[in-house]
Structure 1
Amino acid sequence: MNEVSFSRAVKEVKFGAWTLDPKRQTISDGEVTRELEPLLFKILCYLIINDEQIITRQDLVDDVWCQKYVDDNAINRAMSELRKVLKSERQKGLVVKTHYRKGYSFFLKAEVVYQDSLNNTSQDLSGFSSSMSNESNSIKTENSHTALKYGLSIICSFAVIFALYMITSHYEPLGNQKEQPVVVKSSFNEELLSWEPGRYLSTHLSPNENLLAYLFLPNEKEKAMLVIKNLTSNTEKKVAFQGAELFPLGWSFDSSKLFYRLMKDDKCEVWLVDSVIESTNKHLFECEKTLTIGAGVDEEHFVYTKRNYRGKDGLSALVSLNYKTGEEFQLTSPSLNTRGDIFLHYEPFLKKIFFQRWQLDSVQLYMTDLEGSNHEMLLESASPFYSINYISKDNTLMWFNSQSNTLHSYSLTKREIIKEINVESENMFAFSEVLSPKEVVVTSYPYKHSIYSYNLIENTLKPFVVNNGLPSNGVRGDKKTIFIQRNGRYNSINYIIDGQSTSHEIVRKENFIRGIRYSKLLDELLVRTQKNITLYSKERNVIEDFTVDGTILSSEFLLNGDLGYVVFNKELSQNNAFVYSLELKKSRKLPVSDIVWFDQLDDDTYLMLSSKDKLQYFDIKQGKVVKEITLNYSGRKHLIAIAKSKVFYSDGTSIFELQDSGFEKITSFTDKSIKELNYDEFSEGLVLSTNEVINNHLVSLKLQQRQPL
């Protein structure tokens, strides 16, 4: 594998008229400064570092895309975009050379300039990638090309996140394993670890597995406290500040200290507290309110998930912060066509960082080092991870899937899942920390899922479905509420007739149901899975069914009964919008890109939501976008509903109506968060699918007996 990017010792790289700033991922020619897309930045660094060789397409697939297959069109498009970016009034000559039927090479001579504090010299990159040494030789010959090559590395609201985790499908590895894992079922003893009534949230296990930090909100209290529990002695240390909101972030590498977030008077700070009972709290640095997870990897660096990456809601990257100097160094560079990277675990024994990358159609488990080099994808899953732990005795990673109550073991030696233990329990669990192959600490499920009707005239809320299992994606039919029901290893679509409490099943699917819609005009139900759209009649007969090449991100009934849907094509790394004609039985592609959702506003206009958090008005007759509105940063999923040419929007806590002057707030909620927003054609109101936090327990699950399935 060739090196991909520069170490943090590199201050800048000069070539032609351009100066590359690896930290900011920008190029400047003195007049123009351009921020590079993550993919283009990686390709440019890769070509510069390996400038003495021809880079083949397969090299790009293996080392830059890090995938088994990438469509040639995606590579062609990326190289074309890179060439455009590298042209300016000052740099008109060739930068990247194409070798016919061979590949690409970097044409210019590059000069590396190092940070003054590390090295006051600059170095020509000629011959830079010609050789590689082992670590010991690298240390002894620090100024040699070989050592420099070795030193290169890739610079590449918690309730909302966990609720999303819980409504995804059960864990399912994607791709082929060498061997099928051993699957067993087991009974566990459930032991309460705390009897105090309240809400137990956001658990963090220390690296030495002796301490558990969590957030606890006692009954009738407005602010939660931070608790550090010694799992051996059962003693507790509680941290609280009057008028402040605390939130645990993660542990230091030696388990001696806990990092936590303190918010008060709109100020956000990160503090450090010793794990011993009698200790002091130490202020470290100012922070963003979106900071929710990280870990101390040495005496001065804190690795964490940085949200609002590149100004995009919901996109995040991993960053290493020196909290003594304030200098940040980016460890990962996720594509804008993903949901980004989330920190999971730092393992001091391996000196490795584990994180998950949320693709639009899957979640990938990655491992990297403290420099962010040698990113290795270990596993691709249909559902995300809450936490993982490393078991040194077996060289395995373990995690607990709270939806399916399954304990998974992944061998770092074999690079595959080797065991799955199904826990026999009727209870639902949430946050989880694996102590050993025989014990897991969990919280019982802390949320109530409900579906409400919001009357736009009277501004009142009426419950339709209250905590009936895990209801989501509520829509209204004629005198009934239709919703998706999560049932562990399968999904079903159910309905409840108004005034009744009994749930009736319409259809059951093993595939994860991603969304439903109901058309009053057609009296039909639309069901969307990852790659399939199915229409059901009121008699529950299938009247339309088609599969797409890619992942369906959204789907809607349009005004004339046709279907509008958006597909993410992983190989091309792009989103495409389509209109499916029920009469012609075929789809036509719309001339737009980077769209994640659209619906029909009126006869002449489609309303679209772009991946860059903009509402776009698409003129159907002109075939182009004629107006854009930038949405405010939310940190949550943007929710939009169209109601007879009126546009309603929710950021998860409030509902707004779009007026000529902007968004006008209709209502806000403090006791619930809005997960889905739909229009009720029958009552002409809104349908809200919500989550509310409720009391739960902190529980230890101890393995009793196992038997193969």
Structure 2
Amino acid sequence: MDFIDESEVSFSRKVKEVTLGHWKLSPKYQTISDGSILRELEPLLFSLLTYFIKHNDRIVSRQELVEEVWKQTYVDDNAINRAISELRKVLKSEKQRSQVIKTHYRKGYSFSLDVNIIYFDTKKLEVTESNQVSEEKPELTVPKKLPRKTPHFKIKVPILAGLLLVFSVAVASYYRLTPVTSEVEKIGTITAASTLLSWKKGTSFTPQISKSFNYLAYSFRDANASGIDLYIKDLDTLKEFKVAENKADIFPIGWSGKDELFYQLIQLSDQPICEIWKVNLAKNVTDAAHEKLFDCQSDEIISADATTDGTSLLYTKYNYRGRKDLSAIVSRDLITGNEFQVSSPNISTYGDYYLKISNNEDKVVFLRSHALGTKVFLANIDGSDQSEILELNYYINSISWNRSDDSISWLNVKDKKVNTYSFNTQQVASQKVESDYAFDNTFGLQMVNNSRAVVATDYLDTNILKLDLSSPDFAVSSYSNTDMHETYIAPFHFQDAGVYVVGKNSKSIWRLVDGARKKVLSLSFTDLTGIEVSPDDKMLLVSRPHELLIYSLDNYTLMDNIKFDGVVKSASWPLLNKLLLTYSERGQQNSWFYDLEGRNLVKITNSLIKSAEMIDQQQLLLFDDKEQIQLMNVETGESTDIGSFSDTSTIKWTADKSYFYYTNDGKTVYRMSLQDYSDKQKVTELHNKTILKLTMANYSEMPALYLTVSELKDNLLLDLTFEKSVH
């Protein structure tokens, strides 16, 4: 593994000024001022000065200046001497009399002034699609392998460091009470002030600040890179260091109290690799030794937290009960390698995806996903006295303890609120956050404490591609040819046309016919889970977790609203009077028909079903909880196994009368004949895109497969401070 020094200070327009002794440097205008004198720097002197600032902790050789400032293989010595002399003159004044650039005989030069970087107030910045920054209108958009196969992305966050106080034993009497399900107390409004933490052009993920607040660890992918690298940033000096491994993805997963960083290395190939590593940064980042701890079994990003002494690691262990995508909390002794299980999630959930040890290290709080959001559990650090304390109808990215361990805090990204649950009152205090950022579109949000969070902002573009199944080479083209955020698509049955969903934080339905696009319906909600056109092309079905909405395709008026007590995971419209649902109620997820005339549910199978799709009037394809695909005759109830995907935790699929189409790596689409299950064929392979959903076109004269895909884009890494609003 290569450990590469990537020390860097950027002078983009997000940096307001740099103070150098008595001087203030403006990167935007390339000027310096000591309050009395204002001097404009010519390009060479500005480049030379900024390079010295970037590397102010060491001697810079003349050859390095030739290669990095002049960017040539050879520069005459006299040219270098003149430039250094001119820069010294520029940096000398009545206020700044001392020598700024020192000469080291036969070694090079060093910069002698202390450097301090001052940033623009990010609330006054606007980030456009081209990532250009202006200082006028505040407009910054912020939405879980890449991206996660479910809406729940496993992200880890370090514990708040500080004075450790004894956790009162009297709190234990509260743990058996009914979980809180609503926010009962509102205590005002706060604002989110931001500081830019990284300005490299690329995509940042999963930021984590150490418990000492000395370091920031985060993952980063350059657009041209083959893998995702791990960056470690010294928050005092602002220097960065990179850990890279060829074609591997590396993610920070937790810290100990001794500045030990635990990270995960994932490599997806014919023989997948998952490894947990550790590096101790307490003394020297550059020369710190990296140590492999153990192998893991996951293509998901693990969540972890360590005790202060670094001898025990609690982490989310996947492949629980034989389910690739199911995780439980496990405690591992890093000296002996022994493990014991802390939590036992139900197999019908997606398991426990995040954990945080209390400051006093006697308790652990962990998050479990359920059909509509998150359940919060509290237990002793050994897993005993475990109880559910919160059930929320939205997803939590991370959670933190306060210093005295008498409350926990998290960010409700859905409603932009900082929430704090008190163990003493068993109530949730809620503070509304005034911010330009849409926190629900992030690829990593660490709740450091109730007044601070670190966030990697919006990172994905989502679009729809059309794959022509009638062409010999399965030609792929853009569906709507726009830059808008496109997600679900519902093709028509009797013409080459369809409707699709556009938007992130506000959604609408658009119609595309013969190349003409038209917005036909604005939606007042954002939690839709799919759309489908009726078999006669007259109605549009819009799915939400607890209801199905039916609109007329003539005038887009609402015709019907069907409510459910359980959760609708997916819905299609295969028969004129019947909807096909994957429906979850009381922890059991099955396949059902919903009779539109009788307005009742009819269970199709007693097996636990993840997804289902009808391929004709009688045959139904089922994907069960064991990752088995079954072909079932709905009239006779007979079923046939046609394939197993137990070796992967991710599969997206659809089907027509002849083929089963699927992707199990998010990149390659295969099809398998329903008449000859051994007949497998690669349909297409995408590069730099991830497939989120496959949708089969219904128009038989022009067979097509639609791919909803995501593509990484440049984003920002921000340190947010929540402050009381002043009105």
Q: So what's the TM-score if we normalise by structure 2?
A: 0.68
The structure-2 alpha-carbon separation of the partners of 1:280 and 1:680, relative to structure 1 and needing over 3 Å to count, comes to same
Task: Specify the code of the residue in structure 2 equivalent to 1:666.
Answer: V
Alpha-carbon distance in structure 2 between the residues aligned to 1:269 and 1:424: 38
The structure-2 alpha-carbon separation of the partners of 1:416 and 1:684, relative to structure 1 and needing over 3 Å to count, comes to farther
The alpha-carbon deviation at position 258 of structure 1 amounts to 0.6
Deviations 1:146-194 (A, max 9, x none): xxxxxxxxxxx7433398259xxxxxx99654733335253x4433222
Task: Specify the code of the residue in structure 2 equivalent to 1:180.
Answer: E
Tell me the residue number matched to 1:238. 242
Alpha-carbon distance in structure 2 between the residues aligned to 1:603 and 1:700: 55
Match of 1:582 among 566, 576, 596: 596
Tell me the residue number matched to 1:543. 559
Deviations 1:449-508 (A, max 9, x none): 1111111233122223578565322323466553345554xx634215358797625142
Match of 1:273 among 268, 273, 279: 279
The yes-or-no answer on 1:445 pairing with 2:458 is: yes
Alpha-carbon distance in structure 2 between the residues aligned to 1:703 and 1:271: 33
Deviations 1:242-288 (A, max 9, x none): x2525234334314211122356854432211124231112222233
Tell whether the 8 Å contact from 2:621 to 2:631 is kept in structure 1 after alignment. yes
Q: What SS does structure 1 have at the residue aligned with 2:261?
A: strand
Tell me the residue number matched to 1:668. 685
Alpha-carbon distance in structure 2 between the residues aligned to 1:231 and 1:505: 49
| Structure 1: tracts of 5 or more residues without a match | 1-156, 167-172
Deviations 1:592-641 (A, max 9, x none): 331232222233322112122111222223224344532243222x3221
Q: Which structure 2 residues correspond to residues 282-321 of structure 1 after superposition, within 5 A? A: 282-290=291-299, 292-293=301-302, 294-297=304-307, 298-321=309-332
Q: Percent identity?
A: 21
Tell whether the 8 Å contact from 1:319 to 1:332 is kept in structure 2 after alignment. yes
Alpha-carbon distance in structure 2 between the residues aligned to 1:546 and 1:472: 23
Q: Which structure 2 residues correspond to residues 133-532 of structure 1 after superposition, within 5 A? A: 158-161=145-148, 164-165=151-152, 176-177=181-182, 179-184=184-189, 186=191, 188-241=192-245, 243=246, 245-263=248-266, 266-275=272-281, 276-277=284-285, 278-290=287-299, 292-293=301-302, 294-297=304-307, 298-392=309-403, 395-402=406-413, 404-425=415-436, 430=442, 431-458=444-471, 459-465=474-480, 470-477=485-492, 481-485=498-502, 487-488=504-505, 492-497=507-512, 504=519, 506-510=521-525, 512-532=527-547
The structure-2 alpha-carbon separation of the partners of 1:454 and 1:162, relative to structure 1 and needing over 3 Å to count, comes to closer
The yes-or-no answer on 1:700 pairing with 2:713 is: no
The alpha-carbon deviation at position 214 of structure 1 amounts to 0.4
Task: Specify the code of the residue in structure 2 equivalent to 1:462.
Answer: S
Task: Specify the code of the residue in structure 2 equivalent to 1:254.
Answer: G
Q: What SS does structure 2 have at the residue aligned with 1:182?
A: strand
Tell whether the 8 Å contact from 1:592 to 1:624 is kept in structure 2 after alignment. no
Q: Which structure 2 residues correspond to residues 76-95 of structure 1 after superposition, within 5 A? A: none
Q: What SS does structure 1 have at the residue aligned with 2:607?
A: coil
The yes-or-no answer on 1:618 pairing with 2:624 is: no
Deviations 1:540-597 (A, max 9, x none): 1333332233112221112445211132121xx3234322333444443324331232
Tell me the residue number matched to 2:167. none
Tell whether the 8 Å contact from 1:209 to 1:435 is kept in structure 2 after alignment. no
Tell whether the 8 Å contact from 1:271 to 1:281 is kept in structure 2 after alignment. yes
Task: Specify the code of the residue in structure 2 equivalent to 1:639.
Answer: K
The structure-2 alpha-carbon separation of the partners of 1:470 and 1:255, relative to structure 1 and needing over 3 Å to count, comes to farther
Q: What SS does structure 2 have at the residue aligned with 1:688?
A: strand
Tell whether the 8 Å contact from 2:573 to 2:579 is kept in structure 1 after alignment. yes
Task: Specify the code of the residue in structure 1 equivalent to 2:217.
Answer: A
Tell me the residue number matched to 1:557. 573
Tell me the residue number matched to 1:642. 655
Calculate the aligned-residue CA RMSD, in Å.
3.2
The structure-2 alpha-carbon separation of the partners of 1:530 and 1:314, relative to structure 1 and needing over 3 Å to count, comes to same
Alpha-carbon distance in structure 1 between the residues aligned to 2:639 and 2:334: 45
Tell me the residue number matched to 1:85. none
Task: Specify the code of the residue in structure 2 equivalent to 1:671.
Answer: N
When structure 1 is superposed on structure 2, of 337-346 and 228-237 the one drifting more is 228-237
The alpha-carbon deviation at position 339 of structure 1 amounts to 1.3
Deviations 1:47-93 (A, max 9, x none): xxxxxxxxxxxxxxxxxxxxxxxxxxxxxxxxxxxxxxxxxxxxxxx
The structure-2 alpha-carbon separation of the partners of 1:485 and 1:383, relative to structure 1 and needing over 3 Å to count, comes to farther
The structure-2 alpha-carbon separation of the partners of 1:467 and 1:423, relative to structure 1 and needing over 3 Å to count, comes to farther
Alpha-carbon distance in structure 2 between the residues aligned to 1:287 and 1:474: 37
Tell whether the 8 Å contact from 1:555 to 1:597 is kept in structure 2 after alignment. no
Tell whether the 8 Å contact from 2:568 to 2:583 is kept in structure 1 after alignment. yes
Tell me the residue number matched to 1:679. 696
Task: Specify the code of the residue in structure 1 equivalent to 2:509.
Answer: N
Q: What SS does structure 2 have at the residue aligned with 1:675?
A: strand
The alpha-carbon deviation at position 690 of structure 1 amounts to 1.4
Alpha-carbon distance in structure 2 between the residues aligned to 1:246 and 1:623: 45
The structure-2 alpha-carbon separation of the partners of 1:357 and 1:189, relative to structure 1 and needing over 3 Å to count, comes to closer
Alpha-carbon distance in structure 2 between the residues aligned to 1:480 and 1:574: 36
The structure-2 alpha-carbon separation of the partners of 1:224 and 1:559, relative to structure 1 and needing over 3 Å to count, comes to same
Alpha-carbon distance in structure 1 between the residues aligned to 2:292 and 2:594: 57
Tell whether the 8 Å contact from 1:320 to 1:330 is kept in structure 2 after alignment. yes
Q: What SS does structure 2 have at the residue aligned with 1:386?
A: coil
Q: What SS does structure 2 have at the residue aligned with 1:516?
A: strand
Alpha-carbon distance in structure 2 between the residues aligned to 1:681 and 1:184: 50
The alpha-carbon deviation at position 369 of structure 1 amounts to 2.5
The alpha-carbon deviation at position 302 of structure 1 amounts to 2.0
Alpha-carbon distance in structure 1 between the residues aligned to 2:433 and 2:497: 36
The structure-2 alpha-carbon separation of the partners of 1:600 and 1:228, relative to structure 1 and needing over 3 Å to count, comes to same
The structure-2 alpha-carbon separation of the partners of 1:331 and 1:396, relative to structure 1 and needing over 3 Å to count, comes to same
The alpha-carbon deviation at position 311 of structure 1 amounts to 1.9
Tell whether the 8 Å contact from 1:204 to 1:248 is kept in structure 2 after alignment. no
The alpha-carbon deviation at position 435 of structure 1 amounts to 3.8
Task: Specify the code of the residue in structure 2 equivalent to 1:253.
Answer: S
Number of residues of Structure 1 aligned to a counterpart in Structure 2: 540
The alpha-carbon deviation at position 526 of structure 1 amounts to 1.0
- Larger Cα Rg: Structure 1 or Structure 2? 2
| Structure 2: tracts of 5 or more residues without a match | 1-143, 154-177
Task: Specify the code of the residue in structure 1 equivalent to 2:612.
Answer: F
The alpha-carbon deviation at position 425 of structure 1 amounts to 0.4
The structure-2 alpha-carbon separation of the partners of 1:320 and 1:554, relative to structure 1 and needing over 3 Å to count, comes to same
Q: Which structure 2 residues correspond to residues 64-143 of structure 1 after superposition, within 5 A? A: none
Alpha-carbon distance in structure 1 between the residues aligned to 2:511 and 2:570: 24
Task: Specify the code of the residue in structure 2 equivalent to 1:530.
Answer: P
The structure-2 alpha-carbon separation of the partners of 1:527 and 1:686, relative to structure 1 and needing over 3 Å to count, comes to same
Alpha-carbon distance in structure 1 between the residues aligned to 2:719 and 2:516: 33
Tell whether the 8 Å contact from 2:348 to 2:588 is kept in structure 1 after alignment. yes
Q: What SS does structure 2 have at the residue aligned with 1:602?
A: coil
